[in-house]
Amino acid sequence: MADPILRLSQLSKRFGQFEAVKGIDLAIQEGEFFTIVGPSGSGKTTLIRMLAGLEEPSDGEILLRGERINETPANRRPTCMVFQSLALFPHRSVGQNIEFPLKMRGVPPVERMNRALDLLRLLRLPEDYYKKQVSQCSGGERQRIALARALAFDPEILFFDEPLSAIDYRLRKTLEKELKDLHRETGKTFVYITHSLEEAMVMSDRIGIMRLGELVQVGAPDEIYSRPANRFVSEFMGEVNVLEVKPNGAGLHCPVLGSTLQGPDGKADFESGYLVIRPEYLRFIAPGETAENTVTGVLYNEYALGSRIQYQVRVGEQVFLVEKLREQRYGGKLDDEVTIGWEARDSVLATE
């Protein structure tokens, strides 16, 4: 693999007694769309602020193409950040906003204007927006203006600090795809911060999951989806079935079900933890059918999730979620006694 464009080694940030980022090691490749996902308080914003140069690391190193940039202030780094609030200048027109980074670098007015018009075209905004006030633009348009402005001086890396979090669901879905298209079109390195793994899945080449200042797992979206490193990651992925288990020779003993289950192969050193099964891997077992693991309970409720239906099945104290495509919905009714099951290879073992 080529040398990474950005390498972090043992990067830490302390605020007084509180350690927001704890010794992170990470290499981001040129042209990659890398997303850091974590709940609020996980230190992801502090991390990206250090990368952008708005916060100075307490320890460790940030290397840009092998050169240490810890002490380089934000205005001298070849990177640009798109802020959560977008931070457009309300007192400037769209054109002046986009030209700002160029003006700061002393680019002559005509050249600035041509560049701004090119960017408007790239972001599919009408050219007459050049003279428009930012306050007259819609949420989606502002998003594009902020992107155009960030791209104006041709930075090597673009940072994004949750720019889509304040936007309503439908527009967000559109903008996620537009952002990924823009990544293809420009070929630049994108480093993106979000608290939504779903958003990260749509866009990223690789995802890093952060918790309490540490990276818990780094990998391609598929990898994180199918092989979560621990319970935190698996639950962060969305609704999953988590069973506390302990190996007992014959398989995995599950105290809450009072039975022994079959887990996936490998992980010989697994001592205790959780068996994680995604709702779509569970199925209803008709009489005469079998599965490697089965449990019997009561169908308590069902929820329509657009293309899929989710069922809540209660087995004693334990609640299971089963998801089926709308076309494969369960034929029975609520309060039916149902048997659900899954194959051992579809489950994942996770530590705390």
Partner 1 sequence: MTATTEIRATETDKPRHRRERRLHVSPGLLTALPVLIFLALAFAAPLLAVFGYSFMPEGTFDFTFPPTLENYLAVFSGSYYISFAKSLGLALVTVVLLMVICWPIAYGMAKLFGRWANLMTLAIIIPLFVSENIRLFGWVLFLIKGGVFLGGLKAWLGFDGESILYDVPAIVLGLVYVYLPFTLFPMVLGISMVSREVTEAAFDMGASRWQVFREVELPLATPGILIGGLLTFILSLGSLAESKILGGQAVIMIADEIETAFTFGQNWPLGSALSVILILFSGTLVLTLLSWVDLDRILGRGGND
Q: Which residues bind partner 1 (CB under 8 A)?
A: 52-54, 73-76, 79-81, 83-85, 87-91, 100-101, 103-105, 131, 133-136, 149-150, 152-153
Question: How far is CA 296 from its chain centroid?
Answer: 35
In the bound state with partner 1, the residue whose beta carbon lies nearer, of 73 and 332, is: 73
Shortest Å distance, C-beta 122 to partner 1: 18
Closest CA to 98 of 154, 179, 157, 163: 154
Cβ proximity to partner 1, 48 vs 350, nearer residue:
48
CB of 149 to partner 1, least distance (A): 7
Q: Is 274 helix (H, G, I), strand (E, B) or coil?
A: strand
Nearest CB to partner 1, comparing residues 78 and 255? 78
Give me 324's structure tokens. Answer: 């089926």
Instruction: Provide φ and ψ at 282, rounded to 5°.
Output: -85, 145
Instruction: Tell me whether residue 77 or residue 172 sits nearer to partner 1 (CB atom).
Output: 77
Kindly state the smallest distance separating residue 180's Cβ from partner 1, in Å.
23
Give residues with Cβ within 8 angstroms of 16, minimum separation 6. Answer: none
Closer to partner 1 by CB, 4 or 101: give it.
Answer: 101
Nearest CA to 23 out of 236, 224, 210 is that of 210
CA pair distance 325, 309, nearest whole angstrom: 6
Q: Is 53 helix (H, G, I), strand (E, B) or coil?
A: coil
The residue among 76 and 124 lying less far from partner 1, judged by its C-beta, is 76
> CA 114 to CA 117: how far, in whole Å?
5
Shortest distance, position 120 Cβ to partner 1, whole Å: 17
Whole-number minimum distance, CB 256 to partner 1, in Å?
A: 47
Nearer to partner 1, 165 or 174 (CB): 165
Phi-psi region of 200 (alpha: psi -120 to 50; beta: other; left: phi over 0): alpha
Name the minimum Å distance from CB 153 to partner 1.
7
The beta-strand segments (E) located in the chain are: 6-15, 18-28, 33-37, 59-64, 67-68, 79-82, 157-161, 189-194, 206-211, 214-219, 241-247, 252-254, 259-261, 273-277, 283-284, 293-305, 308-315, 318-325, 337-342, 347-350
Nearer to partner 1, 104 or 319 (CB): 104
Taking the complex as a whole, how short is the minimal distance between the CB of residue 84 and partner 1, in angstroms?
7
Q: How far is the CB of 57 from partner 1 (least distance, A)?
A: 17
